[in-house]
Amino acid sequence: MDKYQGLLKAHNLKSTHQRLAILKNISDAGHIDVEFLYSKLLEKFSSLSKATLYRNINDLLASNIIEEIKLPELKQQYEIKKEPHIHLLCKNCHNVKDINYNLDSVYSEISKDNKFKIEKSFIVIKGLCSNCV
Amino acid sequence: MDKYQGLLKAHNLKSTHQRLAILKNISDAGHIDVEFLYSKLLEKFSSLSKATLYRNINDLLASNIIEEIKLPELKQQYEIKKEPHIHLLCKNCHNVKDINYNLDSVYSEISKDNKFKIEKSFIVIKGLCSNCV
DNA sequence: CTTCATGCAAATAATTTGCAGTAAG
DNA sequence: CTTACTGCAAATTATTTGCATGAAG
């Protein structure tokens, strides 16, 4: 996980055992909430304290290494910061798929019609994935 | 607020003083979080207990009279259930404007490309409103 | 009247903080 | 070595529940 060591160093955060495990688990999961993340971490790292997890989540958020995503009806989720994308959330298996779709023309129209300077959009589409139909 | 009395009755919920005040305040605010809603309610209704507020929020959610909306960086918000719409969130004044925009063609393409049966979408666009540019 | 809703206090869950010891660089 | 990170316990904050009383229909 050299990738993360560099990222951490770039933000003056030490590459601890715990942090690397947190990042690896978030990355593996794609999207994960605190409780589930904690249980995964305990498997390999039985002494990890929840305070450390919370502190790290906050530090990593502050450094923009991870970001919060809010999905309807689910607990707050975290993911490794990536390019903006749309989330497809399956209401059955709760799997989340990231997709890209260019909405520039939509945004420019919305922006003009509402005199609103758009910075970022958050889109979640809920439904049934191909495995659950 | 006869509108709400009917709605409540339709869901076998009694039209109490407290419930009507809760609905009125959510409606007036457009979007509101628990803490701010509670403080508004106390102004006119100093004996209201927080337990009652939480219980009512849950009952009203269960009856689909109100719904939760998750906005980035903000506490869980509640609004009176209305037609699906897009939220424009101003990052400066935190005002939220509801707009409508037809995205059917986008949805049908996303649906086809990803074999995903779309049920509902949640869209928040963050930026600066005309008052805050 | 009868049932459901409310207020209060206590219980539980979620998150943050203080501090002494430990690991990273 | 020095500074930042961790674990633990305690403190806060958020939310839910039990129960006796009160209001709605």
- List the domains of chain B with CATH numbers: 2-80 (1.10.10.10), 86-127 (3.30.1490.190)
Q: Do B126 and A103 touch (CB under 8 A)?
A: no
Q: Is the model's pLDDT at B22 over the cut of 90? A: yes
pLDDT at B2: 79
Q: What is the CA radius of gyration of chain B?
A: 17
Q: For A13-27, what is the mean pLDDT?
A: 97
Residue B60 pLDDT class (50, 70, 90 cuts)? very high
Angstrom distance (rounded) from CA A55 to CA B20: 41
pLDDT score for A76: 97
The string of pLDDT tens digits covering residues B36-56 is 999 999 999 999 999 999 999
Q: d(Cα B62, Cα A17) in Å, to the nearest integer?
A: 43
Tokens representing A102? 């260019």
Q: Judge if the beta carbon of B18 is closer than 7 A to nucleic acid strand C.
A: yes
Q: Is the pLDDT of residue A115 over 90?
A: yes
Nearest C-alpha in A relative to B124: A122
Q: Residue range A81-86: average pLDDT? A: 97
Determine, for residues B116 and A130 on separate chains, whether the beta-carbon distance falls below 8 Å: yes
User: What confidence score (pLDDT) does residue A2 get?
Assistant: 79
| % residues pLDDT > 70 (chain B) | 99
pLDDT in tens, B67-100: 999 999 999 999 999 999 999 999 999 999 999 9
Residue A31 reports pLDDT greater than 90: yes
From the CA of B34, how many Å to the C1' of D12?
18
**On chain C, which bases lie within 7 A of the protein's CB atoms?**
4-10, 14-18, 23-25
A112: left (phi over 0), alpha (psi -120 to 50) or beta: alpha
pTM value is: 0.93
Residue A1 has pLDDT above 60, yes or no: no
* DSSP-assigned letter for residue B71: -
Minimal Cα–Cα distance from B131 to chain A, Å? Answer: 9
Å: B52 CA to D19 C1': 14
What is the amino acid identity at position A9?
K
C-alpha distance from A38 to closest chain B C-alpha (Å):
22
